[in-house]
Amino acid sequence: MKGFSLLEIIIAIAVLGSGIAGAIALINQTVVTGVFAQKQLIGAHLAQEGVEVMHNIRNTNWIKQNSDPAILWDGGLTDGNSCVNFNSASLSDAGFAAGSCDSPAQRTLYFLNNRYIHSPTGVGSATNFFRYISIAHGVDSDAKTFVRLTSTVSWDKGSISVEEVLYDWR
């Protein structure tokens, strides 16, 4: 009766072990990449949401101009860094002064009732996401006033920015 030698068994176990180790490393890298992609997607949506809130403020100003022509299309869009929530009607709705969102504590997003919010009182579960909107007025080559918005979201291993230029095109 012929059997396997000890050396053959050790080599077979080493080959099998390296195959299993490779598969485990591949699975681990797939999970890490999936988590990073998930955070990128959430960050991109949160950054776009910040720009959409600014659109809403400008559009609300346009509606208010129908009854009060003294209201400016860019009223309330103060230069500087600002924090806004998904339902903000002005820059100060998040509980911070307009044009101020300079510290990481102010930029922290909390998760409450399936929504990401800025919470000056710390209500909700703190997340690893931070968002702020940079606002800067300017004048283009045609002497038209514009507002440059940059919505930046960062997290533990990345960040994303969305930039938009708003005009009074109405």
pLDDT tens sequence across 4-62: 788 888 999 999 999 999 999 999 999 989 999 999 999 999 999 999 999 999 999 88
pLDDT for the residue 14: 94
* DSSP H or E run through 138: strand 125-139
Nearest to 136 by CA among 123, 146, 125, 121: 146
Q: What's the pTM value of the predicted model, to 2 decimals?
A: 0.81
- b/e 139-154 (16+ beta carbons within 10 angstroms → b): eeeeeeebbebbbbbb
Q: Give the C-alpha separation, 169 to 147, whole Å.
A: 12
- Going from N- to C-terminal start, the domains of the chain cover 6-167
**Three-state SS at 170:** coil
Q: Give the C-alpha separation, 67 to 71, whole Å.
A: 9
56: Cα separation from own chain's centroid: 18
Radius of gyration of the chain (CA): 26
Tokens (6 digits) for 58: 């400008």
pLDDT tens sequence across 57-110: 999 988 998 899 888 888 888 898 888 888 888 877 666 666 667 777 788 899
Phi, psi torsion values for 151, nearest 5 degrees: -100, 115
pLDDT for the residue 37: 93
